[in-house]
Amino acid sequence: MGAQGNILFSGVGGQGILLASEIMAYALLAAGYDVKKSEVHGMAQRGGSVTAQLRYGDKVYSPLIEPGRADIQMAFEMMEAVRYLPYLHKDSTVIVNTQKILPPAVATGKTTYPEDVLDHITARGIKVVLVDAFELAREVGEVRTANVVMVGAISAFLPMASSVYEEIIAARVPVKFKDVNLKAFAAGRKVSQG
């Protein structure tokens, strides 16, 4: 082994980031890594900008990722991909759900949603993978599986086999939603594998 890595999840409260980060944590644990995850609950969850931080390796001390050291960012909203730019390094991979959620100042007409916001990341030579998670989730038949589509997309960048994730997903979702979630995972993985 010897590998280690830092995954930063970012998005908007209510998007299912915690479930996605849980699936990733269990997959990394199954691969034999030490894993730590940090979340913030409470006020920020009411539609605010939220993050979860996941670290894995032979031995993990700090639950927090240092700025400049996130290897993968899994962003559930486009502007929230850019907000955490200082956490990235030039070899980071950013997987972005191409969804726009308007923050209050935009929704009330005080300001506008920044145009071509992802250019801030690509202009620095950082690899960006675009995932239309909402549309893919709709295609598999359940829009609420967008977060599992995102898990599929990130899975292609980690060493674990699909079967590892599939087992975890099957164990964590209600039986009647198992198949649709597995389809969502496969759809997301296909995006990253091209």
Site residues (CB under 8 A) for another protein?
12-13, 25-26, 29-30, 32-49, 60-64, 66-68, 79-80, 82-83, 85-86, 88-89, 102-114, 117, 120, 124
The span from the CA of 26 to the CA of 57, in Å, is: 14
| Cβ atoms 32, 1 nearer than 8 A | yes
**Nearer Cβ to another protein (35/156):** 35
Q: How far is the CB of 99 from another protein (least distance, A)?
A: 12
Question: How many CB atoms are closer than 10 A to CB 122?
Answer: 12
- Our CB check for another protein shows the closer of 105 and 161 to be 105
Measured CA distances, 50 to 9, 84, 149 (Å) = 8, 11, 19
Of residues 80 and 166, the one with the C-beta less far from another protein: 80
- Whole-Å CA distances, 111 to 48, 105, 106: 17, 6, 5
- Pick between residue 82 and residue 158 the one whose CB is nearest to another protein: 82
CB of 179 to another protein, least distance (A): 23
Q: How far is the CB of 156 from another protein (least distance, A)?
A: 23
**Which of 132, 130, 154 is CA-nearest to residue 143?**
132
- Smaller CB distance to another protein: residue 121 or 186? 121
Cα dihedral value 45, 46, 47, 50, nearest 10? -20
At its nearest, how many Å lie between another protein and the CB of residue 63?
4
Q: Which is nearer to another protein, 1 or 193 (CB)?
A: 1
Which structure tokens are listed for 135?
Answer: 């549309």
Q: By three-state DSSP, how is residue 88 classified?
A: strand
Least distance (Å) from another protein to the CB of residue 69?
Answer: 8
